[in-house]
């Protein structure tokens, strides 16, 4: 019985490596997204703290300089938060894009795996027929004696 050789095994191996690469890219993209979301949360917390400081000072004695400084820092944090929202959206888009690529890579790999299964089934059927033919020859040879 000859050994089964799938002639597209190299392509299947490449598809498997591509799938692993896409999984790693997705993992990295998720990590980056988490980092950017945490940074956004941190910036939002800083802005909220700044607003609390302003509210506390309003109840007490407050100077025009304090109001101006807190207003400027609020404006700064608001601008940074807007920029960070854009960064988070881009990271989210990147995750979605990589998920789509991973899905395509999985589909391609499954196609080649199915081709391999079909080729093996065909090979197995041919080997069984060949073995049966060989057994029939042995039986007919013995029967002729």
* pLDDT by residue, tens only, the chain of 145 residues: 578 888 999 999 999 999 999 999 999 999 999 999 999 999 999 999 988 888 888 777 888 888 898 889 999 999 999 999 999 999 999 999 999 999 999 999 999 999 999 999 999 999 999 889 888 888 777 666 5
Residue 145 has a pLDDT of: 58
Residue 32 has a pLDDT of: 97
Residue 48 has a pLDDT of: 93
- DSSP 8-class letter at 112: H
Residue 101 C-alpha from the chain's centroid: 8
Residue 96 has a pLDDT of: 97
Residue 35 has a pLDDT of: 97
What distances in angstroms separate CA 107 from CA 73, 100, 127, one per listed residue? 51, 11, 30
Residue 64 has a pLDDT of: 85
How many angstroms separate the CA atoms of 22 and 104, rounded?
10
Residue 88 has a pLDDT of: 97
CB 84 within 8 A of CB 36: yes
How many angstroms separate the CA atoms of 123 and 135, rounded?
18
**Architecture (CATH level 2) of domain 9-144:** Orthogonal Bundle (1.10)
């Amino acid at each position: 019985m000859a050994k089964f050789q799938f002639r597209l095994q190299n392509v299947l191996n490449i598809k498997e490596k591509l799938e692993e690469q896409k999984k790693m890219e997705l993992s990295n993209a998720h990590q980056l997204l988490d980092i950017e979301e945490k940074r956004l949360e941190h910036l939002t917390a800083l802005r909220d703290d700044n607003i609390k400081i302003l509210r506390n000072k309003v109840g007490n004695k407050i100077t025009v300089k304090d109001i101006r400084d807190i207003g400027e820092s609020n404006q700064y944090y608001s601008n940074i938060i807007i920029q960070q929202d854009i960064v988070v959206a881009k990271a989210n888009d990147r995750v979605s894009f990589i998920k789509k690529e991973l899905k395509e890579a999985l589909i391609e790999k499954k196609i080649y795996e199915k081709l391999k299964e079909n080729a093996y089934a065909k090979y197995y059927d041919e080997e069984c027929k060949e073995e049966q033919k060989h057994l029939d020859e042995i039986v007919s040879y013995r029967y002729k004696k």
